[in-house]
Chains A and B, each alone.
Chain A
Amino acid sequence: MPSVNVVNGKQIVVENAGLAQRLVGFFTKPFLQMWHHQDLIAAILRREMSERFKGSIAGWVWAIVAPLLAIAVYTFFFSSKLEMPAMYSVTKNPGVNYALFILSGIVVFNFWSEMAFRAPMLLHEYTHFIKQTIFPSDMLAVISTLRATAYTLISITVLLIFQASVVHSLPLTVLLLPFILIPFIAFLVGMSWFLCAIGAFTRDAGYLMINVAPLFMFATPVFYPHTMLPAPWDFWIYANALTGYVEVMRDIVLLGKLPDLRVYLWTIATSVFTFYFGYWFFDRYRNVIVDVI
């Protein structure tokens, strides 16, 4: 192992720091990196944003059309005799109820699945940068999550507008959205760090996610409230970290009530853990990744 490694006057491998110092360093490092590379993040994010709808005439309109289509389909499809528990009946139309119910869960799920599909291939997209420039490859997970955040915010806006127009009011708890979105973004960034590091070694990670992600759609209470499942399943449904985010989201956007404290604390815990575990994992293997990718 290199005993001293200094680039740009900054020490890369620091030894002999005290435990407290190393802990503080560990917890602040991802944020210091983001701050340090903010201009690079902005430059690449700008390019990623313009890339998504490149060559299309409608461009960003697609980001709005997608949730609108989903609303139309769910409303039409579930305007039949599907019985939902009474608490979810915020309007008199069961189709609209169900559409709102699904959409408030699916914005969370789509956010997750976009990252789950993309992260394993993320470093492969940027091989040139990683191999031929001094490139902070850990920022790629941040950039791609920020891009997905933009689309999610559009979906949420469309959902809120639709909800406001059919219910004629929005619950005040909507203002709490940042308190669930920010932990969820941190969760996804951490997940992306982990997946893109694995993906750099093997393409299997990508194939695995393509096969597993659709299953999660049913393992997560997107189409049904988890109370419809028998009680012994509770543990397993919450073991899927996505459940917590979906439920908190639904509570504050649709039902206008504060989330169950235990569920909320659980989402915070998974978020913090995933964020730091992902960064630790990526950081540990980043120097190997440069050589294998």
Chain B
Amino acid sequence: MSLSTSSDIVVRTKSLGKAYQLYARRNDWLKQVMFGWWKSFFKPFWVLRDIDLEVRRGESIGILGRNGCGKSTLLQVICGMTLPSHGELRVTGRIAPVLALGSTFDLELSGRENVMIGGAVLGLKRSEVLRKFSSISEFAGIGDYMDQPVKHYSMGMRTRLAFSICAHVEAEILVVDEALAVGDAAFQRKCLDWIDNFRKTGTLLFVSHSMAEVRRLCTRAIWIEEGRIREQGDPSTVIRNYHRALLVEKDDVHRFSASE
């Protein structure tokens, strides 16, 4: 199947699906590894199905959905951490994932050493990290803690440092997954301002449970339900419908437990 080479579209997925392999018995994976060419020994568990998505340069997309609906998996697939099981995916440009901020920090090492490793993992050259170091530490604003082991950091400080590293990658596509929930209001505002600024040149994919953030940052909202795109379009419309559905579902749960 031929794909258009329009440089305007930075992320394009076509009937994208992702299935995890569920094994009935614990050691069936071994059979799968050895005899997978013959038949499959797992049940596919589809977390994403039929995702058709086109993201243009400069767009910022808010992704809504309940826990476990496949939002994070979609981001992981787009970032290339895990391969889709079905469909096509095309990503053009340097992509920076801001997922689970700070979880890759080595607690024993200092903030400084973690910046070196974190930068390298995000694809920066050593010289680039060294050049940007003062800017990174200024953005993080954690002062002398930079030379302390990360185990002495608070959760908020870790988030600050991690976001600060990501903010210096010079990505063309930024993928943010509920990253800003931990920081204090001042830092959140700083991050949102930075993202606002980033949007002038780059493309943003953004998962958040804060409707205010989505409304403020996004030009388009996508509502994912049970691995499929249920609705996409103007953020306020999608958010309104999503809220309405959430209310109904709450109602559903109540009815369900009442009838039991």
Contact = CB atoms under 8 A, between A and B. Distances in A.
Given A6-B91, A7-B80, A42-B126, A201 B29 contact: yes
Interface string B140-181: 000000000000000000000000000000000000000000
Nearest to B79: A134
A93 interface: no
A134 B123 contact: yes
Interface string A1-38: 01111111100100000000000000000000000000
A2 B91 contact: no
B90 A4 contact: yes
A132 interface: yes
A201 B33 contact: yes
B113 interface: yes
Contacts, number: 109
B108 interface: yes
A133 B123 CA distance: 10
A12 B79 CA distance: 13
Interface string A50-67: 110010000000000000
A8 B80 contact: yes
- Interface range for A: 20 to 34
Contacts of A212: none
Interface stretch (A107-115, A144-152, A261-269, A282-290): A282-290
Q: Is the interface of A mostly helix, strand, loop or mixed?
A: helix
17 contacts: A2-B86, A2-B89, A3-B1, A4-B90, A5-B88, A5-B90, A7-B79, A43-B120, A47-B106, A50-B109, A128-B104, A132-B99, A133-B81, A134-B80, A134-B122, A288-B21, A292-B29
Given A128-B104, A134-B95, A288-B21, 13 more contacts: A5-B83, A7-B91, A7-B95, A9-B94, A39-B124, A40-B123, A129-B104, A132-B104, A133-B121, A202-B30, A291-B20, A291-B82, A292-B21
A51 to B, nearest CB: 7
- Interface range for B: 35 or more
Nearest to A286: B83
Contacts of B212: none
B238 interface: no
Contacts of B29: 201-202, 292
Nearest to B171: A8
B126 A133 contact: no
A135 interface: yes
Contacts of A73: none
B218 to A, nearest CB: 23
B126 A39 contact: yes
A201 B82 CA distance: 16
Contacts of A257: none
